[in-house]
Structure formats: C-alpha cells, structure tokens
Homo-oligomer: A and B are copies of this chain.
C-alpha cells in the first residue's frame, strides 16, 4: 500500500473545534485508515472561522510545504458554513463569491493532486441551515463539473440525527466528540474515500 500524506484543508470543522478528543472527523478517518494498515500521514490545515476566500489565500503554500517525494500527496477540502454565516446581520459571502473562490481552489487543486471535497454540515440554526443547504448544492454542482468527488454532509448528517442534536450541547454550530465520530463514520463509508484507502 502506498504511503500517503493527506492535507485536510478548511475551517473549524476540519480542525475539530470543541472536540474533547482533539481528533475531529479528519483525525478519526485517518486513524481508521491506519487501523486498516495504511501508512497515512494526516496534516490538519483547518482554521476556525475561515471562509472560502480566506482558505484560498493560504492553502496552497501550506499544502506545498507538506509534500514529500517519498509519499503521495492528497487533498481533502471542507468549508462553507462561515461563508453562509451572518456576522452583525450580514452574510459573510454571497453564494456567487463562495462559488468563485471554490472554483479557483479546486481547479488549482485537481491540476496538482488527487482531491476530494466534503460539504458543509447542518447545525442548530434553521435560517442558516437553509443557506448552508443552498451553498452545499452549489458546491456539489461545481464539483460535478470539475469531476471532484463531493460528499454531501448536509443531507447525511441531517438524516443521522446524532450530529445536529450534539451541536445543541456545544454552541449550536459545532458537534461534540460523538457528533464528530458520526461525521467520521459516514465519510469513512464513502466510496470515494475508500478508493484511496480501501
């Protein structure tokens, strides 16, 4: 099996904010891959609060510093909730701005390394959920156009029940360790991830 360095790039949901176990979904699916015998080196490049436009500015330099000639490089992105979040009554980014940033990020990514995208999750705020759902559908269309496998976290985690309930015990946005474990479980069962790490 190939040795693999995977950069997980995105926002607080990537960094695992509020996870008592300090793993997030990225740490959990990496540990599960190691348990299956894969030599995976995860690099967590999630930053709390970042929008797609902020991620666009820094992801490439950070990911380049983490490559090695001895190991295959792979990229996994997740962002969107901060784009759709209202700060002082104003949405941080309109859908068209998110789409532009995501297109620039993903076009650069796929020309360089194999890439996956994880969509933004639902939370406890119904008005924001409607905006996240719309943005997730837009990101899914973009990924379809670019042939980037897209994991629809929004739908999967609404269906699961555990995830959204867990956000209510935290801050209404971020899941507990149990919520991150649920998210990791559904991503780990995703065929596009298992193509990389059977």
Is A137 at the interface (CB under 8 A from chain B)?
A: no
Residues A48 and B44 in contact, CB atoms below 8 Å apart:
no
Copies in the complex: 2
Q: Please count how many residues in chain A sit with their CB below 8 Å of the partner chain's CB atoms.
A: 26
A43 within 8 A of B: yes
* Pair B35/A31 contact, Cβ less than 8 Å: no
Contact B34 A22 (CB under 8 A): yes
Is the beta-carbon distance between B34 and A15 smaller than 8 angstroms? no
Partner of A30, one of B5, B22, B41: B22
Closest beta carbon of chain B to A61's beta carbon, Å = 8
A49 at the interface (CB under 8 A from B): yes
- The answer to whether B23 touches A22 (Cβ under 8 A) is yes
Per-residue B-contact encoding for A27-39, CB less than 8 Å = 1, 0 else: 1101100110000
**Known: A49-B68, A68-B49. Is A42-B58 also a contact (CB below 8 A)?**
no
- The answer to the question of A20 belonging to the interface, with a C-beta cut-off of 8 Å to chain B, is yes
- Interface residue ranges of A1-55 to B (CB < 8 Å): 5, 15, 17, 20-23, 27-28, 30-31, 34-35, 41-44, 47-49
Expressed in whole angstroms, the Cα–Cα distance for A123 and B59 within the complex equals 33
Once bound together, how far apart are the Cα atoms of A66 and B11, in whole Å? 11
Residue of B nearest to A62 (CB): B62
Contact of A44 with B44 in the complex, beta carbons under 8 Å: yes
- Asked if B62 and A48 make an inter-chain contact with CB atoms under 8 angstroms apart, the answer reads no
Residue among A21, A22, A41, A68 facing the most chain B CB atoms (10 A cut-off):
A22
Chain B residues in 8 Å Cβ range of A27: 22-23, 27
Q: Answer whether A31 and B20 are a contact pair too, CB < 8 Å, given A48-B68, A68-B48.
A: yes
A20 to chain B, nearest CB (A): 5
Closest 9 interchain pairs by CB?
A: A22-B31, A22-B30, A22-B27, A20-B34, A58-B65, A21-B31, A44-B44, A47-B66, A22-B42
